[in-house]
Amino acid sequence: MNLLRRHPVAIALVVLLLATAIHPLSPLVDAVTGSAPGDADLDRPILYVLFAPLSNSLDALTFFSQPRAEWALAVWILALGVWGALRRSAAPLTWRRHVARALVGPGIVILLGVAAVLLPRPVPSLTSDGVGTVIDYHAHTNLSHDGRPGWTLAKLAEWHERQGFEASYVTDHNVVYDGSLPVPAGTTISLLPGVEWSVHQQHVVAIGPVEALPRDSFGGSTARMLRIFAAIERQGGLSIASLPEYWRNHWEDLGAFVVAGVDGFEIVNCAPKALGFPPDLRRQVLALAGSHDLMVVGASDNHGWGQVTCVWNVSRPGAQGFHTNRVFARPLALVQGNGWSWAAAVSQPWYMLRSLSWSERASWLTWVVIILLYRAMPRREGQGAGLGILARSLGGRRKVAVPNETPT
């Protein structure tokens, strides 16, 4: 009871780590069937597992939908600020110290958010049993208006390689990539031609032998926008309706999309605005695509701002390029459309802990024990924290031999 009273956070975390292991989430989910794939898995680098608490936390921040992120950050910042301000102290504090203690927790949350977007770090990669080509259908460079400065073709290729991709279409906003630029030296993946057209309330990913189009011809109304699918087909390319636009702006028009000649739909997109796509609507799109033999794809929609992806496509070559038959996604991304956004501060950590592998769970428990021992190790009066305290806590207290002599 004394341990629980002195270290409630550590004990609660241990309980949660053990409780979430009872009914864990699969590391990967087939977004089409909803089942765990038996021929694909995630390969986690050693450093990723060694620092699993940080790695998993940054991933969980990356896989937030926009409304869930807004709610979670607001709740965490407020709760940690109040907790820091109300914590008891052994000595009286000035108002400046009270303010500083209240700002520590919110500051850490903000730093973690920035790190999730910008900090280079180890990331898991997809491994499959040779069932097809691992490909991304939607990615950007710095040529897009919202691309990260300096996010070149070489960096885009390197980013995909680290996560197990073998090919990626380059689909900058309204800037055609025709594949004529030299592939960066050392690149082992294929960079394929494509573009993302911004038309009336819709983004359309065009892949294959695409050429420039007069975008003004497809603006102003849904009826005019729908003509872009036929225009892409005349070029010999394939058109894919992107998320979140068709969900938010054209949900009642999807039948017209099919009649107009759309070739496929994104069913998973890793952008924050698109991650909230509800599972029941995803099932409706799958049914629509299945009844008309259309493609369904996942998209990283990477603009250079995130370090890890939530989705991979395993595809096979077809008559007009690649034809997707499998879409693998991280379960933490697929659940973003579930439940109430205001509960994200609690549900996101819960989903994160449920999705841990056994190696990651062991890493979490090890770090909890190390920090608990460090905190519990007695110190001499006036002695500050340091590596020496940590070493003694892990190695045990050294016994000093006492001479068997009585001084005279």
Question: pLDDT tens digits for the chain (408 residues)?
Answer: 566 667 788 889 999 999 999 999 999 999 999 999 988 999 999 999 999 999 999 999 999 999 999 999 999 999 999 988 887 776 677 778 878 888 999 999 999 999 999 999 999 999 988 778 999 999 999 999 999 999 999 999 999 999 999 999 999 999 999 987 777 777 789 999 999 999 999 999 999 999 999 999 999 999 999 999 999 999 999 999 999 999 999 999 999 999 999 999 999 999 999 999 999 999 999 999 999 999 999 999 999 998 999 999 998 776 556 666 799 999 999 999 988 899 999 999 999 999 999 999 999 999 999 888 877 766 555 555 555 555 555 555 555 555 555 555
Helices 344-354, 66-86: axis angle to 10 degrees equals 100
Burial of 382 (0-12, 13-18, 19+ CB in 10 A): exposed
What are the Cα distances from residue 342, in Å, to 13, 199, 273, 281, 334?
22, 33, 16, 21, 17
Rounded CA-CA distance 55/237 in Å is 39
pTM over 0.85? The answer is: yes
> Using an 8 Å Cβ cutoff, are 36 and 28 in contact?
yes
> Using an 8 Å Cβ cutoff, are 174 and 195 in contact?
yes
> Using an 8 Å Cβ cutoff, are 352 and 56 in contact?
yes
At 256, give phi and psi (nearest 5°).
-65, -35
Give a three-class secondary structure readout of 337-356. HCCCHHHHHHHHHHHHHHCC
